[in-house]
């Protein structure tokens, strides 16, 4: 990609004064809390989800500690139920769903398409306030009192039997959903109307495609979740018979509605991750992404078919056997575009000139873990296998490979890759690599044993378990401690780099995206002149690799 405004040379490291940019132009709290700048809103999101991530992580830590022994000797059964509910609710709705779109997407989408901001800057700020309000509301309900339904809110347990603050948490998640819808809407309109001259659809970076597809899912699926949560609330408050058979309702109806949102929600988490990885791999392989068009079709295929597979969560629910057949077949089909993407990333490495900086380690880690997550998904899509494996730790391991091994690895990779753009500083490379390796090793140690536990039959959401499962649980908990270390480490060195990191300059990776053709950190309006695009993305050649030694 070329641009009409070549960036200024970076000031020498340690230069006393930075030019004015979006970050240093005004440090007052008011200027941050009333900003319309997509880059500042991205940072507001980053801080908010970071807090939620560590709160959700504390819950996970206590869960893993409890499971070291078969008996329930650390927390009570009710507390344990509240902990896994809090972990799920916080990680899904307060961290994973907003993570890449609302932080990296917010920061990068306008810059990648050569725009000054999103289409609706005020709506963008409003989405953050709605998110924080809903998030704090949910958090208070989860911490003061707690909820014991699990993040899935299955009826009639959630409507008629649980004695906890279900309504408050439903309301919190309901509110947070609106911030998703606002962000999705904003991205869709922005991509349609604000692309730079010459930036046709098939010149868009895959990160933009991925977030665009994600936005469509957000806008279409989130309202279904909102309606479902309202129905649960109505039945709980007013005993309107919708889900509880004692009132004339149908409990399976809830599962259909819930998974109609929550399965696409998995793609809300993983599509943007695929977008991040599709930016990182070509850059560090110094090569055009392999099969760009197929990559875009795969993104759209996942987004569309992802809406038609929800029933694979219900193979043993009492759903019709024939419905099970259809949902199983469609679940196998949705695996095809994911497989295509993995093959294309691999082929991108062929004849490249590869360096292994921290973002690349995260991206390759993503490919490995996502592949394991995807392949074990085939086991669960297989009807007869799902009968035994569903609701066991096999499922827990599978979706953590996708959501943590996939989405969180990609988020971390993206944070490292664009850290110089966001902050104007380099992170310390050696520590970046150490953390990436720690997270990869810790993750596998934590979750691989859970596949075995699941095959052996250990059900999920068990506070106590038969002693034969202890060895694998100890392994898993030991891995979790390494994983926790891996997540804490970046907090330290990224924080350090904010003040002491080497100045990055506009384009430390010699990357081709428009976001790199402007100073780091970028000025308030991103570009001094609107860039003009004359070719497709990822115009990398091996020769430029000489320039980056890190």
Beta bridge partners, 425, equal 503
Separation between Cα atoms, residue 143 and residue 189, nearest integer Å: 37
Separation between Cα atoms, residue 351 and residue 41, nearest integer Å: 39
Among 197, 245, 488, 495, binds other proteins (CB under 8 A): 245
In 3-state terms, what secondary structure has residue 503? strand
Residues 339-358 that bind other proteins (CB under 8 A): 339-340, 342-344, 346-347, 349-356
Residues in contact with 192: Cβ distance below 8 Å, sequence separation at least 6, in sequence order: none
Considering the complex, state which of residue 328 and residue 526 has its C-beta at the smaller distance from other proteins.
328
Of the candidates 340, 276, 330, which has an alpha carbon nearest to the alpha carbon of residue 304?
Answer: 330
- Cβ 213 vs Cβ 303: under 8 Å: yes
246 binds other proteins (CB under 8 A): yes
150 binds other proteins (CB under 8 A): yes
In 3-state terms, what secondary structure has residue 496? helix
The least CB distance from residue 528 to other proteins, in Å, is 31
Considering the complex, state which of residue 186 and residue 450 has its C-beta at the smaller distance from other proteins.
450
32 binds other proteins (CB under 8 A): no
373 binds other proteins (CB under 8 A): no
Considering the complex, state which of residue 204 and residue 372 has its C-beta at the smaller distance from other proteins.
372
Residues 79-98 that bind other proteins (CB under 8 A): 81
318 binds other proteins (CB under 8 A): yes
162 binds other proteins (CB under 8 A): yes
Separation between Cα atoms, residue 154 and residue 255, nearest integer Å: 7
Considering the complex, state which of residue 187 and residue 538 has its C-beta at the smaller distance from other proteins.
538
202 binds other proteins (CB under 8 A): no
Q: Which residue stretch of 175-183, 184-192, 231-239, 367-375 sits at the interface with other proteins (rule: CB under 8 A)? A: 367-375
Of the candidates 266, 277, 279, which has an alpha carbon nearest to the alpha carbon of residue 214?
Answer: 266
Residues in contact with 400: Cβ distance below 8 Å, sequence separation at least 6, in sequence order: 373, 446, 447, 450
- Residue 200: CB atoms within 10 Å: 9
Considering the complex, state which of residue 113 and residue 458 has its C-beta at the smaller distance from other proteins.
458
Among 106, 124, 186, 371, binds other proteins (CB under 8 A): 371
368 binds other proteins (CB under 8 A): yes
DSSP letter for each residue of 54-96:
HHHHHHHHHHHHHTTSSS--SS-HHHHHHHHHHHHHIIIIIII
Residues 508-527 that bind other proteins (CB under 8 A): none
The least CB distance from residue 248 to other proteins, in Å, is 8
361 binds other proteins (CB under 8 A): no
Q: Which backbone phi and psi does 514 adopt, to 5 degrees? A: -60, -30
Residues 250-309 that bind other proteins (CB under 8 A): 250-252, 285-294
Q: Which residue stretch of 56-64, 178-186, 242-250, 413-421 sits at the interface with other proteins (rule: CB under 8 A)? A: 242-250
Q: Which two tokens stand for residue 487?
A: 């997540």
456 binds other proteins (CB under 8 A): yes
């Amino acid at each position: 990609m070329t641009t009409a405004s070549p960036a200024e040379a970076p000031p020498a490291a340690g230069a006393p004064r930075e030019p004015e940019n979006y970050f240093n132009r005004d440090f007052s709290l008011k200027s941050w809390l009333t900003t319309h700048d997509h880059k500042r809103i991205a940072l507001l999101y980053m801080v908010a989800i970071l807090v939620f991530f560590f709160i959700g992580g504390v819950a996970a830590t206590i869960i893993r500690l409890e499971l070291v022994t078969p008996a329930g000797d650390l927390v009570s059964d009710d507390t344990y139920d509240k902990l896994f509910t809090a972990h799920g609710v916080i990680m899904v709705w307060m961290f994973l769903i907003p993570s890449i779109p609302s932080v990296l997407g917010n920061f990068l989408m306008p810059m990648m398409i050569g725009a000054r901001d999103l289409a609706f800057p005020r709506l963008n700020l409003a989405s953050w306030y709605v998110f924080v309000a809903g998030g704090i509301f949910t958090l208070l309900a989860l911490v003061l009192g707690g909820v014991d339904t699990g993040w899935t809110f299955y009826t009639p347990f959630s409507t008629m039997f649980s004695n906890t603050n279900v309504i408050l948490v439903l309301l919190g998640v309901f509110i947070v959903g609106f911030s998703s819808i606002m962000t999705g809407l904003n991205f869709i309109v922005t991509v349609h109307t604000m692309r730079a001259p010459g930036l046709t659809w098939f010149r868009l970076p895959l990160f933009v495609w991925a977030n665009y597809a994600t936005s469509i899912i957000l806008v279409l699926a989130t309202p279904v979740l909102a309606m479902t949560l309202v129905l649960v609330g109505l039945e709980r408050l007013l005993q309107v018979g919708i889900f509880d058979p004692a009132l004339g309702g149908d409990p399976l109806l809830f599962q259909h509605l819930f998974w109609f949102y929550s399965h696409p929600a998995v793609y809300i988490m993983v599509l943007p991750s695929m977008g991040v990885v599709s930016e990182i791999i070509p850059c560090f392989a110094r090569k055009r992404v392999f099969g760009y068009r197929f990559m875009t079709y795969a993104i759209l295929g996942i987004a569309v078919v992802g809406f038609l597979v929800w029933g694979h969560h219900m193979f043993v629910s009492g759903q019709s056997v024939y419905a099970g057949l259809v949902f199983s077949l469609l679940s196998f089909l949705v695996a095809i575009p994911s497989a295509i993407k993995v093959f294309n990333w691999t082929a991108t490495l062929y004849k490249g000139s590869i360096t292994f900086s921290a973002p690349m380690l995260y991206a390759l880690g993503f490919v490995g873990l996502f592949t394991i997550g995807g392949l074990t998904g085939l086991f669960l899509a297989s009807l007869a296998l799902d009968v035994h494996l569903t609701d066991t730790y096999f499922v827990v391991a599978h979706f953590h490979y996708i959501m943590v091994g996939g989405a969180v690895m990609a988020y971390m990779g993206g944070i490292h890759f664009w850290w110089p753009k966001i902050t104007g500083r380099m992170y310390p490379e050696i520590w970046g690599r150490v953390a990436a390796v720690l997270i990869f090793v810790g993750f596998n140690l934590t979750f691989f044993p859970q596949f075995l536990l699941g095959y052996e039959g250990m059900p999920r959401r068990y506070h106590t378990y038969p002693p034969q499962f202890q060895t694998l649980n100890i392994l898993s908990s030991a891995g979790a401690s390494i994983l926790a270390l891996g997540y804490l480490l970046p907090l330290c060195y990224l924080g350090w780099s904010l003040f002491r990191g080497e100045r990055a300059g506009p384009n430390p990776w010699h990357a081709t995206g428009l976001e790199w053709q402007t100073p780091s950190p970028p000025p308030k309006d991103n570009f001094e002149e609107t860039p003009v695009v004359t070719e497709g993305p990822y115009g990398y050649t091996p020769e430029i690799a000489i320039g980056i030694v890190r």
